Amino acid sequence: MQISSRFTVALHIFTCVEVFKDEHKVTSDFLASSINTNPVIIRKILGQLKSAGLIEVQRGTGGIIVTRPLSDITFLDVYRAIEPVEGGDLFRFHESPNPQCPVGRNIHGLLDGKLSAIQNAMETEMMKYTLDDLKTGIDELLKKEA
């Protein structure tokens, strides 16, 4: 299992918006140049973030507004906006294990609790980090470079 790069691209977008909002017109083209990807990909991710209520996008004028304080948006919020999990479960279970097989008829009972615990641990860790952590971190790094 691997989480797609859309999640880290979304975090990159939020960081760019905060760093450049007062200096540049933050458009999908501008973001794509920082992320080094296609603007179409950026627009798709912006649409997902907008649908989740995390940003507002001003078309034409090139403005992205974060709808809540950065300290109120966790990595989990962004993850859920970008990587929606089917039925709320991170792990997709293979369909129809053979009930005639002793492993097949018991695999759900064997794995369900463990997989749920793994998902809960990941989500708990993701709730510990906010977009404000990224803003603070980039500010510190940029000061060191200056």
Domain regions of the chain by residue span: 6-145
Residue 14: closest CA among 77, 83, 85, 59: 77
Q: What is the pLDDT of residues 13-69, one digit of tens each?
A: 999 999 998 898 899 999 999 999 999 999 999 999 999 999 999 876 668 999 999
The kind and range of the H/E element at 14 are: helix 6-20
Nearby residues of 108 by Cβ (< 8 Å), 6 or more positions away: 93, 97
Residue 77: closest CA among 140, 136, 7, 145: 7
The most distant pair of C-alpha atoms in the chain lies apart, rounded to whole Å, by: 67
Q: What is the pLDDT of residues 42-58, one digit of tens each?
A: 999 999 999 999 999 98
Q: Does domain 6-145 have CATH number 3.40.50.300?
A: no
